Amino acid sequence: MPLRIDVITIFPDYFAPLQLSLMGKAQQSGLVTIAIHDLREFTSDRHRSVDDTPYGGGAGMVMTPEPWGQAIDAVVTDQSTLIVPTPAGKLFSQPVAAELAHSTHLIFACGRYEGIDQRVVEYYRPRIDVRELSIGDYVLAGGDVATLAMIEASVRLVPGVLGNPESLVEESHQLPGVEYPSYTKPPTWRGLDVPEVLLSGHHDQIARWRAEQSTIRTTHNRPDLLPGS
């Protein structure tokens, strides 16, 4: 049963990259099907409007609920998970990507402006799994880029999508922290040599060196990922 993904957005062209590379191959192989829907196709007024002023005042505009209700109703099943990207969401992570990779049907609601009327989440929450997710503590102009990131992170974990599942095995067994530095040919480049140990063929020494390098990089770049932090 392929993973089905429906993306609802006012900028369908944002998702053209999903036809390329690994995501494109995943679709061609039938492991994943991805459909992009223009929210404005679900409006009923002449101007195809999707936003209005916020109740209670405040800056900007809020996306009105009805087009979202029409669009989600057009694709939803009882197996659906509705993902709503938002700065206020729970943090998206590799474990969440693994959960999404094993879903049956994902619907991504890509908001813009100041967000989507909260009643959309309130309406679907009693009916299907609804997840408000954020990809990080910085502010984007909408949910489209976040959706691209979450789709790529999740789809690469769908069994059969990655040509070399070995890289997933290594990724999953990796010690907490960031990965070690990687090198390839040539052995010397602009006077810089590949670390000698990597050319030695001593796999135990290579593994030890890589673990040390991971710890050094994690300590420097991501001390929050160190064990016990």
Ligand X SMILES: CC(C)N1CCN(Cc2ccc(Cn3ccc4ccc(-c5n[nH]c(N)c5C#N)cc43)cc2)CC1
Binding-site residues sit at 111, 135-140
Distance (Å, whole) CA 216 – CA 223: 10
Which residues are known binding-site members for S-adenosyl-L-methionine?
A: 111, 135-140
Cβ atoms of residues 177 and 210 within 8 Å: no
Question: Does residue 140 belong to the site contacting ligand X (CB under 6 A)?
Answer: yes
Question: Does residue 115 belong to the site contacting ligand X (CB under 6 A)?
Answer: yes
Residue by residue, DSSP assigns 195-222 as PGGGGS--HHHHHHHHHHHHHHHHHHH-
Please identify which residue in 10, 39, 50, 135 interacts with ligand X, judged by CB under 6 A. Answer: 135
Please identify which residue in 86, 154, 214, 218 interacts with ligand X, judged by CB under 6 A. Answer: 86
* Rg for the chain, CA atoms, rounded: 22
Question: Does residue 136 belong to the site contacting ligand X (CB under 6 A)?
Answer: yes
Distance (Å, whole) CA 212 – CA 94: 23
Q: Which stretch binds ligand X (CB under 6 A): 7-15, 25-33, 135-143, 167-175?
A: 135-143
- How many residues touch ligand X under the rule CB under 6 A: the total is 21
Cβ atoms of residues 34 and 20 within 8 Å: no
Distance (Å, whole) CA 56 – CA 162: 48
Distance (Å, whole) CA 111 – CA 109: 6
Judged by CB, which is closer to ligand X: 56, or 163?
A: 56
Phi/psi at 79 (nearest 5 deg)? -95, 5
Please identify which residue in 111, 121, 130, 131 interacts with ligand X, judged by CB under 6 A. Answer: 111
Judged by CB, which is closer to ligand X: 10, or 157?
A: 10
Judged by CB, which is closer to ligand X: 101, or 133?
A: 133
The footprint of ligand X (CB under 6 A) covers 58-59, 85-87, 89, 111-115, 134-136, 138-143, 146
